[in-house]
Structure 1
């Protein structure tokens, strides 16, 4: 039985003989390959096409991966089934023989003993037959890959692989069809000497394996670039709204048509945006990270949102070709985001409004609003963060004008998704645990609580830290500190208590209590303080602005004289112990019932 392998040396005469036989059948086999399946296969195999996704009929909307290594199991089952259905009978009828190849192959004794082939799940017919082939004749599929690669550049084969088509999809299908037909005919020639064990499904599987590396290395015809651009423009719709995480390198992320050549960026004009020859660069606080960016491509921009953003700058740039993307990379919920899906794919003048927040600390994020407009001078709509002042060479704003800076660390890490901080003046952590209704006898690892939370069990727990002047109770993903009954218990007999709570749904509550009475409790975004104590406390704070969580922490610390730092929270998390909170008994209130039984 012949033993094949990629190291088997084939002379030029043998390769020429194989090429002559393959060339005679290639076009006939190519006509049998379904264009939709060829297009889908091409979008997997070609690295330059990996930006597009499969048609939904093949992957339910999944994204193309350019990491396809030729494994048949990695292909959409419908593509494999379509190809096998179209090729199974014709391949079985192919009667191809190259005597020179058979003579050149090394001879070996037939294998004795047994071959064990194990499967997980239910493999397709192609996978099953290909695995059987490789089990009985190790290296057979590798030999097919080796010969296909050699023939792809053969003078008699190359003219038969020229793709054509009236649009981008047709060119992709035509290009892939030629190379797949080459692989199918070659696999038939190379594997047929193994008859009767070599079946048409095994031949198709070996061809699919062999065509992957060839497709990755080939270049598309010259007409493809123009066809791809035409398709991109035909499919590009506005308005377009995209939320991504843009990659930051050297404090910058870039929206441009080509990768940025580092150095020479000047942000001194506006402190936020630098205009490039084909896009814009945005200056960030973090040196290397991913930052959330909301992109809105519109016909006409709305008014800037001064309440949400700290820096807002508008600039113009000229697009030589169009289709600017995040040059350093960007990710959405579905993985890598193609650059072509960002800016409009037409040349011309564009305007972009860049809004930023969190560059001085906290949750750093950006918004880009893009529209077509004649070139115009930059406009700075708002300048308020300290980084912008430094980049523009302006005096930094006094720290006392931004008191929430000290607590913006609550806008980062795990605290972003929700927490409750309760500041208690003059009480020890043990007293606070008692007033919370916590079970002091049951210290529990925080991981246990998080596991229960992941399972959907809503258990309350609290961590308490003694700090100068009192204690601070921290509830990760909790809320009990803002409950009125808890506030009354904590503030009795004559204690000041303040609580700041927020959750992942952007709900917030700031509360004050003293001497067993709740003085105020309101949602900063939609309500306002009603008590004179809260009004005075918040008079110089932007409690309806961007950093409401940090502002609430500042106000709570002011009211109680108690404070907590990011390092304190890190210590609590390092210890990793919390206490389960038992619901407090409901307060008894006098009830006056009418004769009819109703309650007054």
Structure 2
């Protein structure tokens, strides 16, 4: 690029930069810190970058610069002599009324003037490196981002204007769209101004509030995930031998953060994070197998495991309480990390129950705990996961069960129609040698006393209801009498011997697997459980029954 062209761009940039609104300029200026857009097949780079911008940015810039840019005189040497002439013939071009004019004209440009967008991109990149176009940005984060974005967009707008006018393409919409696409692509690779990191840090500190909470999926490598500054796993290295975890069997503070030993070898685990304003009053161990407190120092701040929740963006001494569950059964594995500011202190172990922790500490392993609820964990991966009621009935034929629910056995309807309607409640049934399994997807009638009384009149009935809000109800009935109906873990179950036997060994106080534990109790009480094959059979039958009210079939 010749000095004359660089000088022409440098002379026009200040006037063009003054046309650009600060808000869209700041969005452009932060592109270095945002993910790359997905590439669409056969889409030019300039169009792809333009399409990645929020529509309001495109419209706001176009509206702001359209008229003053059209009036602006930019004396410049010729640079477009090498472009191919416009092609002859016709071509098809699909657009829509909702498409921004700048995007439409920019998509059209590679067909009408091949090579023009690429030439603008090349000239803009070279101009941005010219000493005469060096930017000195000052102020807060928003001001620096806006200055950075406006500066590079102004260079692209001036360059696109010079090239397009010389090539006989005076469309301002095409010039603006091309310049936005070129600037967006360039700004994703250009370094941020020198003062930006400090300004961003000040913004984060000013906006940070306690408490913070959230969850994420943490990457596990070689049985370890890490709590590090900016969530960078590399900050603590890659491999840790089991000897690192010998003291408490769960977690250890290391240079760069805290590492947590997992049962999963490689993959991802669910991690909840809470950053507290003050230390927790008590240690919650219910539902957790291993719980350990550790101290560590954040050298800079913003410590996390890769999600949006981090410690404050400043240095300090912290305490982390690591809760772990399911390390012996990786399919259920999960963690909670509670973090608060505190002076250094020795580790404290609040719970030590899993077999992995015992092995790491060099202790004899406890016996394997029988968890009958584990065989029902498939339900959480089925279509029943969000909300359902499962009712198992003995002593009645399927037709009588359907009537007791308030449906008409003589009026079956297509299962898929009822699923898609989201109107009246419905049930599907399986008659299985003296036992009926009734399933209500997103329904609840099987938990009602009048239904349980009716369906148990010739034998037994038990139901388990759950919904998306975490509400559950476990019910038992026999010979037309409801023996117990309660919220597992909250309500008091009946003292009836048969109910007590159905609940034996099921820890309902522990919130984990409560739905699954309820289904175990239903199976014990009625002698028949729910199996994946039952859902397959219901799908094969492909019929269900609309519920219009107990005792009033339609």
Structure 2 residue corresponding to 1:498, chosen from 451, 458, 462: 462
> Equivalent residue for 2:430?
464
CA contact (8 A) 1:161 1:175 kept: no
SS at match of 2:213: strand
SS at match of 1:217: coil
1:20 paired to 2:28? no
> Equivalent residue for 1:278?
256
CA contact (8 A) 2:403 2:409 kept: yes
Distance 1:446 1:80, change over 3 A: same
Pairing 1:282-293 to 2, within 5 Å after superposition: 282-284=260-262, 286=264, 287-289=266-268, 291=270, 293=272
CA distance in 1, matches of 2:364, 2:414: 48
> Equivalent residue for 1:181?
154
SS at match of 1:478: coil
CA distance in 1, matches of 2:78, 2:474: 86
- Give 1:439 shift: 5.5
Question: Structure 2: which 5+ runs fail to align?
Answer: 40-44
> Equivalent residue for 1:61?
none
> Equivalent residue for 1:241?
213
CA distance in 2, matches of 1:175, 1:91: 20
> Equivalent residue for 1:6?
none
CA contact (8 A) 1:433 1:464 kept: no
SS at match of 2:507: coil
> Equivalent residue for 1:137?
113
SS at match of 2:524: helix
SS at match of 1:417: coil
SS at match of 2:337: strand
1:303 paired to 2:286? no
- Give 1:519 shift: 1.6
CA distance in 2, matches of 1:362, 1:418: 21
Pairing 1:513-524 to 2, within 5 Å after superposition: 513-524=477-488
Pairing 1:357-506 to 2, within 5 Å after superposition: 357-359=325-327, 360=329, 364-386=333-355, 388-389=357-358, 391-392=360-361, 394-399=363-368, 402-425=371-394, 446-453=415-422, 457-464=423-430, 466=432, 470=435, 472-493=437-458, 495-506=459-470
- Give 1:85 shift: 4.5
Pairing 1:34-433 to 2, within 5 Å after superposition: 34-43=21-30, 45-46=31-32, 49-50=33-34, 70-71=46-47, 72-101=50-79, 104-106=81-83, 108=85, 118-131=94-107, 133-134=109-110, 136-153=112-129, 157-195=130-168, 197-248=169-220, 252-257=224-229, 258-260=232-234, 261-264=237-240, 266=242, 267-284=245-262, 286=264, 287-289=266-268, 291=270, 293-327=272-306, 330=307, 337=308, 341-359=309-327, 360=329, 364-386=333-355, 388-389=357-358, 391-392=360-361, 394-399=363-368, 402-425=371-394
CA RMSD after TM alignment: 3.6
CA distance in 2, matches of 1:570, 1:395: 42
- Give 1:264 shift: 1.1
Deviations along 1:558-578, whole A, 9 cap, x unmatched?
33333344x445644764745
- Give 1:582 shift: 4.2
1:563 paired to 2:532? no
Deviations along 1:30-79, whole A, 9 cap, x unmatched?
34433333212212x32xx22xxxxxxxxxxxxx8766965445433443
CA distance in 1, matches of 2:268, 2:119: 45
CA contact (8 A) 2:319 2:344 kept: yes
CA distance in 1, matches of 2:473, 2:363: 36
> Equivalent residue for 1:9?
none
1:29 paired to 2:16? yes
Deviations along 1:239-276, whole A, 9 cap, x unmatched?
22224444455554432122244321544443433434
SS at match of 2:461: strand
CA distance in 1, matches of 2:409, 2:367: 44
Distance 1:418 1:283, change over 3 A: farther
CA contact (8 A) 1:492 1:514 kept: yes
CA contact (8 A) 1:33 1:83 kept: yes
CA distance in 2, matches of 1:106, 1:538: 81
1:512 paired to 2:476? yes
Pairing 1:540-579 to 2, within 5 Å after superposition: 540-547=505-512, 548-565=514-531, 567-569=532-534, 571-572=536-537, 575=540, 577-579=542-544
Deviates more, 1:266-275 or 1:369-378: 266-275
Distance 1:489 1:87, change over 3 A: closer
Distance 1:398 1:573, change over 3 A: farther
Deviations along 1:524-549, whole A, 9 cap, x unmatched?
24320234333454364322321332
How high is the TM-score relative to the length of structure 2?
Answer: 0.83
CA contact (8 A) 1:362 1:410 kept: no
Distance 1:89 1:550, change over 3 A: closer
- Give 1:473 shift: 3.5
CA distance in 2, matches of 1:378, 1:491: 55
CA distance in 2, matches of 1:564, 1:393: 41
- Give 1:477 shift: 2.5
